[in-house]
Structure 1
Amino acid sequence: IDSKIQSKRFCQQELYFCFPNLHPTYIISIFATLATLLIIFGAIFIQQSNSLLYIENQFKINQSVEKTNSAIIYNPDEPIFVFYKLQQFHQNIRSYVQSLDFDFIGTTDVNQYVSDVIFCNDSTSKQPPCSLVSRTNPIYDIEVIVNGYNVLDESEIAWKFDQNYQVQFGQGFRDYYGSDWQKYAIWARFSAFPNAVKPIGSFQMSGDQVKIKVNKFNIGDNSLLPPNFDMNYFLIYAQTNVVGGAKENFALGVITIVCGIWCLIFVGIMVTYWATKGPMSLKYSE
């Protein structure tokens, strides 16, 4: 047979040999490399989650309290953010603005200042812009004590977009609330989840102990409106990176490692199948 083939001017064996794009060698190499990278990055994310500070303390509404936490700071140069978290949180606008007409609620002039007296259900309280939802926020006075000093910085807590552009919270809203407008803007940003996390401020920690002092935390300045969150709340210290906080980094790390393990399982299946079946023989049968 070989002599007959060599006498031919053209035959399959004289063509250049090449691997198809889906050859098992390529597939196994690609998925093995991908699995290695995913597992490495997953381990990095989990390590980052361990180096980011996360402390959560639970308190009750209308309770003045002090709480001291000890913590090891792995990234002392990174700021520590303070949040409050509310459970059973809902912002059902209709239940809070039913006394107002929709022309006022949906005004297109965000810079409009409410100069005319607009009364709420109790007929005594003047209504600020952005609906009654901005008046159901908790009123708080919180200090973060490090080395005997209050180090909490409550500036620039609103979204960067809201700070730089007056789209939703215009000059009228800012004039009405004054220096506290960012607190109300944060509250007026709706949450789609039953657990809402809102920023309070940030601080730098220079020691290994931090004390939170809650002077006041109540349900807001309109007692006639029903509270739209549970009577327990949490205060959180947290450091963040590009991915997020400690929980986000840990979750992403676990997901990444699981994907890497699935890639390894696929590689094992491919290697087993290829070793069992083998490539198609290139020899001629007699």
Structure 2
Amino acid sequence: MSPNPKGNDDAIRWSSKKPKYSKFTQQELPACKPILTPGWVISTFIVIGVVFIPIGLASLFASQRVVEIVDRYDADCVPQSFGEKKLEFIQGADTNKTCVRVINVIKPMKSPVFVYYELDNFYQNHRRYVKSRSDKQLRSKAFETHTDKCEPEEQSGNGTIVPCGLIAWSMFNDTYGFSVNNKRVVVDKRNIAWKSDKRSKFGSDVYPKNFQSGGLIGGAKLNESIPVRVVIVNVFPSFLHSVTPFPS
């Protein structure tokens, strides 16, 4: 008996992986193919320039109105008697670290005036540094002993460190005071943290414990009677700035 040609065609059709024909799969849909003539290109650039040049000028004008004063004090505030022993001066408990700086403000500064500090060679994006903290410990007192990611600042001779980790341990501890014409200027430290952090990231029942109690002090100390989320840094050391106002 001769083979059935029709049956073979059906088998080939069912086993084939060829997609069903359509203009979409064969990329035959109508398309717009603009011809980039010189006139069209020039007109496009002119329109873009008309739109963005005013925006750029406005941004440049706004940036030029910003009054910024930078004062570096790390070298000038170390007494000459210590010479190259800056670390000994900083870590010494008996050394007077009060430093007075005079800053001349030559342009009017409209309120609010923001105060920032800048650190060089402080690599906060290092992987080991970033991971050296415990979010669970900061969220609730129930996770006080959750310090598996806080190495090497997870334990001290007195027990578990709260808050643990290198991030808390290296907290910046310089404090600043400002005065204008011998009148003290109050620095408002409120509302500098996100509400989400205060509400959910840091628990109200988490208090500092055994913090900076080891042999190597990395930064400021914390008041153990105040929750971590309401951090008040002890005045150590104190840096006072005397500001000379611009001429009226």
- With structure 2 as the length reference, what TM-score do the two structures score? 0.49
- Which protein has the larger Cα radius of gyration, Structure 1 or Structure 2? 2
Q: From the two aligned structures, give the one with the greater helix fraction.
A: 1
- With structure 1 as the length reference, what TM-score do the two structures score? 0.44
